[in-house]
Chains A and B, each alone.
Chain A
Amino acid sequence: MRESQRLEAGGDNKQRSGVRVEKEVLNVLDEVLLLKGRGAGFARATPLLGALPELDSMAVLSLITTLEERFGFAIYDDEMDGSVFATLGSLTDFVAAKLGPAVT
């Protein structure tokens, strides 16, 4: 994914912001899916969709809505793709790209 390459190849600021976004995405996951702290053991490569039984269609919708409210952006229909929710890393990259390069 283009955005993830950009993030990972970025400087210290971008990496730091990536870590912060990941933490915030984990908080949202924890809240929506009621992981009760299990999220603390998640890494970028941790699979989400298809791997977490809690992540059913209602939970995906709730996740999308909560991300929109928490980060203040709109997620459009054509952006909702399975690949976005594949791993914690892909979801974090998606959110970071929505936030844009201004967020450091």
Chain B
Amino acid sequence: MQAVQAFFLSAAGGQRLCLLHPPPAGHAVRGGVVYIHPFAEELNRSRRMAAQQARAFAQAGYAVLQIDLDGCGDSAGEFGEARWASWVADGVLARQYLADHLNCAPHALWLWGLRAGCLLAAAVAREDPDTPAKLLFWQPVLSGHQHLNQFLRLKIATDLVKGHRGGGTAELVQQLAAGQVVEVGGYTVAPALAHGLALADLEALSPASRVVCLEVSGSGGQSVSPALEAQLARWQAAGCQATGHAIEGPLFWQLAESEACPALVAASLDAIRGAAA
């Protein structure tokens, strides 16, 4: 296998760390995938699975580009100063870079997101409103508003684990509304990030876009959640080719001890190979 190439892309406000996983030398390049990571602590917890999937895609002939968004991971900037719009711009930048690198059109690439990364991938796809996109969603966050609320509740959970009672999330919501940053679980979040996340959804994709959703559950359920079913129906009504699949495995983006989910890797390979065939 080709070695992973690490480099920085220049973006507004600083450099973004990128990892490019090329297909093995001499292997025909079958396509490309841009990975958009999830929000806050879920990024750290999912690194191993993302790397594993990226290697599997590369081995199958798909070049994969991973980008650390503004203020995340090893990119420049502070998390506390990041804005939602700058993350969308970073996703667009990464997609354009990989398209140039592979000498193809940006919309020919797959956008692969995990959790809130799916919201960002949808926003990147919407930058080309007239072109169908190809989207692979892992455990998609369907509502940015709900995701923000759950993130704010992490403050209560953190207080609880430390053995004291916090003030609840109402105070945090008020702070954000007043234009102040909030501190949750070791992350500082600026109002411009919180507001952008709160407004984010997965609607308004170009008709004929291909959307493959993979939902992981530890209980080995046969069907996807009712909320995802409803989202799939909305996409289908809007003319997208959208499918959802339930995968049995650990909720790796939440677990401190990172656990692999081989069934997810296999289903993801099937998804992009199937659509390419």
Contacts and interface: CB of A to CB of B under 8 A. Distances in A.
Contacts of B157: 57-58, 60-61, 64, 80
Contacts of B251: 31-32, 62
Interface stretch (B121-129, B233-241, B255-263): B255-263
A interface SS class = helix
Interface residues on chain B, size class: 20 to 34
Given A58-B45, A82-B163, A77 B153 contact: yes
Interface string A36-51: 0000000000000110
Contacts of B169: 77
B168 interface: yes
Interface string A80-92: 1110010000000
Nearest to A84: B160
A54 interface: yes
Interface in A53-85: 54-62, 64-65, 69, 77-78, 80-82, 85
B159 to A, nearest CB: 8
Contacts of B230: none
A41 B154 CA distance: 29
B256 A59 contact: yes
Contact of B256 (A50, A58, A78): A58
Nearest to A34: B250
Interface in B217-269: 217-219, 225, 250-251, 254-257, 259
Nearest to B152: A77
Contacts of A17: none
B85 to A, nearest CB: 27
A56 B256 contact: yes
A49 B161 contact: yes
Given A77-B156, A78-B168, A80-B160, A58 B41 contact: yes
B185 interface: yes
A5 B213 CA distance: 45
A64 B153 contact: yes
Contacts of A49: 160-161
Contacts of B250: 34
A4 interface: no
Contacts of B153: 61, 64, 77, 80
A3 interface: no
Given A59-B254, A64-B157, A77 B170 contact: yes
Contacts of A31: 217-219, 251
B161 A60 contact: yes
A67 to B, nearest CB: 13
B156 A80 contact: yes
A85 B169 CA distance: 19
B86 interface: no
B17 to A, nearest CB: 24
Contacts of B161: 49, 55-57, 60
Given A27-B219, A80-B153, 14 more contacts: A32-B251, A32-B254, A34-B255, A54-B255, A57-B160, A57-B161, A58-B254, A59-B254, A59-B255, A61-B157, A65-B150, A77-B169, A82-B160, A82-B165
Query: Nearest 10 A-B pairs (CB), nearest first?
Result: A31-B218, A77-B168, A60-B157, A57-B158, A57-B157, A61-B157, A62-B254, A57-B161, A80-B156, A61-B154
Interface of B: 41, 45, 150, 153-154, 156-158, 160-161, 163, 165, 168-170, 185, 217-219, 225, 250-251, 254-257, 259
5 contacts: A54-B255, A54-B257, A58-B157, A80-B160, A82-B160
